[in-house]
Structure 1
Amino acid sequence: MAIKEITVTCQQEGADKGKAFVITRMSAFEADKWGRHCLQAAISSGANIPEASAQSGVSGLAAIGISIFGMMAPEKMDELLARLMQCVSVQPDPGNPSVRRPLHESDIEEIPTVGWLQKEAFALHVDFFKGVGQLFSLLSVLLQMGNSAPSPDMPTSTNATPS
Structure 2
Amino acid sequence: MAIREVTVTVPQDGADRGKRFILTRMSAMRADRWGRHCLQAAIAGGGDIPGLDEGAGLAGVAAVGLGLFGAMDPARMDDLIDQLMQCVSVQPDPANPAVRRALHDSDIEEIPTVGWLQKEAFALHVDFFKGVSQLFSLLNGMPDQPDSELPPDTPM
- TM norm structure 2: 0.88
Distance 2:52 2:112 in 1: 33
Task: Tell me the residue number matched to 2:121.
Answer: 121
Distance 2:35 2:104 in 1: 24
- Is this contact kept in 1: 2:51–2:64, CA < 8 A? no
Distance 1:52 1:19 in 2: 35
RMSD: 2.0
- Is this contact kept in 2: 1:53–1:59, CA < 8 A? no
Query: What stretches of structure 1 of length at least 5 have no aligned partner?
Result: 155-163
> Which of the two has higher C-alpha Rg?
1
1:56 is paired with a residue whose SS is helix
Change (3 A) 1:141 1:45: farther
Distance 1:80 1:88 in 2: 14
2:8 is paired with a residue whose SS is strand
Task: Tell me the residue number matched to 1:65.
Answer: 65
Task: Tell me the residue number matched to 2:155.
Answer: 153
1:111 aligns with 2:111: yes
1:60-99 to 2 correspondences below 5 Å: 60-99=60-99
Distance 1:32 1:9 in 2: 27
- Is this contact kept in 2: 1:90–1:100, CA < 8 A? yes
Deviation, 1:117, is: 0.3
- Is this contact kept in 2: 1:52–1:140, CA < 8 A? no
Task: Tell me the residue number matched to 1:38.
Answer: 38
Overall identity of the aligned pairs, in %: 65
Deviation, 1:137, is: 3.0
